[in-house]
Amino acid sequence: MVNSPFPFGRFKNNEFEWNHVRMKFLEVPQIVWGLNNQKIAFARACLTARMLNRSLLMPSLSASLFYKEIDQLEPISFDKVFNFERFNSLCDGFVRVSRYSDVGNRSNVIEVQKGSGRRWTLERDLDQLKEFSKRDYDAYETIRVVGKNPFLWHDHWPVSDYAKVFECLVLVDEISKEANEVVSKIREFGSEVKNGSSSYQTPYVAIHMRIEKDWMIHCKNRERRSNLTNICSSKEEITTRVANIPALKPPTTLYLAVANELLEDDSILNGWKEGMHPVDKKRLGLTEIYKNHSYLIQAAIDYEVCLNADVFVGNSYSTFSSLLVLERTQKIIKTGISHACGNNVRWPSYAYNIEGESGGPQLWMTNLSDSSLQAISYGSNSVSCRIV
């Protein structure tokens, strides 16, 4: 990563203080695709702004997946999903997001085109960023980058830098409360199936069931292109591997995070091991909560539900699953544990598309020493129970 002299602020007591009088800004295109693709794109834009010693102007997110809901592809402001003040408070001294009202002279802007194509290498991209930080560009209050979605920009930062940005993303209260309502419903369901001990709380396992028809088309094409066989998982494979997780004892509640409208059959609640009690949005009576929101908000609610589960099981080629495991890994590390191998840790995560111990899914922690976000952005079958 390029080190900058930070002319628009100063370090004080190891914290960075922004100089609001001389603040400079970076503006990026609308951020699109799935929830976690958008989170990665946002983090990459933040880190680009940091490299250029600028504050990121609050970008527009996208309320829907454009290939599913073309008529609903309208921008949604970042602060309608994530808490703007909380973000800047948590990320103070690392990155910063600004409102357009913070811009002093909106005409003092230079528009630049981000490079693209096969010839636009990682090195050329880094050279362009270095050029943007030079004095010629420093004269402009705002650098406006046009072109492709920031998710597709080259990646110059380690996983640990992205993790710092993700930790600052806190949902607005309205969405957070609805996610908490879903968790409460799952816990209530678990209390109805618990054993005779009044002190026993039935754990809930969140399973990111990537078996929808659009995913199966995508993953089978990817398996064919990459000559791999462990990207797709059938419902039968998932149910079998979850049943073989050694630490799970009945009764256990299973929350199935799935896009029900994209399933080819409605048997998702059937076929689970005795003592495992599956529920989905419909069975919990929560379909109206989800229907009232755009795709992006629905995904954000499900993400929080999975993040707070006692156990999470997902697909290592899913960005949604991969970012969840990153955050859950950080939670584990904060308890002083550096790996989940053979440990009865809190908040364990598993990859059901990779076979692990006793025919169960592979224990999964994020490698925080990776030099880029490649494995999280595009998936990997290199899954470990260690962070390094």
pLDDT tens per residue across span 137-147:
999 999 999 98
Cβ(210)–Cβ(233) below 8 Å: yes
Say what the pLDDT of residue 14 is: 45
CATH (residue range 173-375): 3.40.50
- Percentage of residues in the chain with pLDDT exceeding 70? 89
**pLDDT tier at 384 (50, 70, 90 boundaries)?**
confident
> Domain ranges in the chain?
25-156, 173-375
pTM of the model: 0.90
Question: Does the pLDDT at position 13 exceed 80?
Answer: no
* C-alpha to C-alpha distance for 358 and 311, rounded to whole angstroms: 17
Question: Does the pLDDT at position 200 exceed 70?
Answer: no
Say what the pLDDT of residue 42 is: 98
Tokens of 155: 């990646």
> Which residues lie closer than 8 Å to 227 by C-beta, 6 or more apart?
none
Say what the pLDDT of residue 328 is: 95
Cβ(153)–Cβ(125) below 8 Å: yes
Question: Does the pLDDT at position 7 exceed 50?
Answer: no
pLDDT in tens, 217-257: 999 999 999 999 999 999 999 999 999 998 898 899 999 99
Question: Does the pLDDT at position 15 exceed 80?
Answer: no
pLDDT in tens, 86-145: 999 999 999 999 999 999 999 999 999 988 888 999 999 999 999 998 878 999 999 999
Q: Output 265 or 58, whichever has higher pLDDT.
A: 58
- 46-50, 191-195, 375-379: which has the highest mean pLDDT? 46-50
Mean pLDDT, rounded, for 164-177: 97
* C-alpha to C-alpha distance for 234 and 242, rounded to whole angstroms: 12
**pLDDT tier at 388 (50, 70, 90 boundaries)?**
low
Tokens 């710092």 label which residue? 164
